[in-house]
Amino acid sequence: MMNIDKFIIGFDSALRTLLTSAQTVRPVPGGELPEAALTDVEKRLSCALMRVNHVGEVCAQALYQGQGLTARNEAVQQTLLQAAREETEHLAWTERRIAELGGRKSVLNPLWYGGSFAIGMFAGMLGDKWNLGFLAETEHQVGEHLSSHLQRLPDNDGRSRAIVKQMEIDEASHATMALSHGGVELPFPVKVTMKLGSKVMTQTAYWI
Ligand SMILES: [Fe+2]
Ligand SMILES: [Fe+2]
């Protein structure tokens, strides 16, 4: 694909992520469960955690698009773009859940998208094995973060918990996919830097 075409597709994807409602092919996990009677405190907690997860999915969209743009190998590019489409479902699920809880999305989403897109492009420029290694490590860290949310979400908020559980399964499969395509383990300092970066994002998105 010509570079200009890729940039137009990337720009279109950014606008879709930030300005429109994401669509899902799979049914929303937990959609069949009744809405629990949550206290105000529980509702605020669920809202904040689902906002953090939504921001994570905005970042995933941007990372995958950035990585797909600069990936060297056509097969790797297609794999990344396919994964980005799957992440769109997570975006849709978290967005819907936030609305059900009467919450709002992060006002900083354009900033998260821009920063993640730049990081994704940089990872792609380093070559496919590092690009895929970065993806696998990202998914691994997201998985840890989601399992921490399963500890923190109110026990009776089955609808939020079902979404987070399915996302945890999907992210693990994305990590496996990246490794099976040749991703390598990242150096320890890079992993630590990624953890610090995501901590800033998750702690900010909890509030705004
Ligand atoms: Fe995801
Ligand atoms: Fe993922």
* Mean pLDDT of each 10-residue bin along the chain, 208 residues long: 70 80 89 92 96 95 87 81 83 96 93 92 91 93 95 96 96 92 92 91 88
Ligand 2 centre distance from Cα of residue 207 (Å): 23
Q: How far is the CA of 44 from the centre of ligand 1 (A)?
A: 22
Quote the pLDDT of residue 154: 96
- The pLDDT score that the predictor gives to residue 113 is 94
Rounded Cα distance, 53 and 62, in Å: 14
Q: What pLDDT does residue 24 have?
A: 86
pLDDT in the model for residue 23 = 83
Q: Can you spell out the DSSP letters for the chain?
A: --HHHHHHHHHHHHHHHHHS----SSPPTTTTSPPP---HHHHHHHHHHHHHHHHHHHHHHHHHHHHHHH-SSHHHHHHHHHHHHHHHHHHHHHHHHHHHTT----TTHHHHHHHHHHHHHHHHHT-HHHHHHHHHHHHHHHHHHHHHHHHHS-TT-HHHHHHHHHHHHHHHHHHHHHHHTT--PPPHHHHHHHHHHHHHHHHHHHH-
Q: Which residues surround ligand 1, an ion (CB under 5 A)?
A: 60, 87, 90
- Tokens linked to 11: 């720009």
Residue 156: predicted pLDDT? 95
Give the number of the ligand closest to the Cα of residue 24.
1
Q: Please give the pLDDT value at position 13.
A: 78
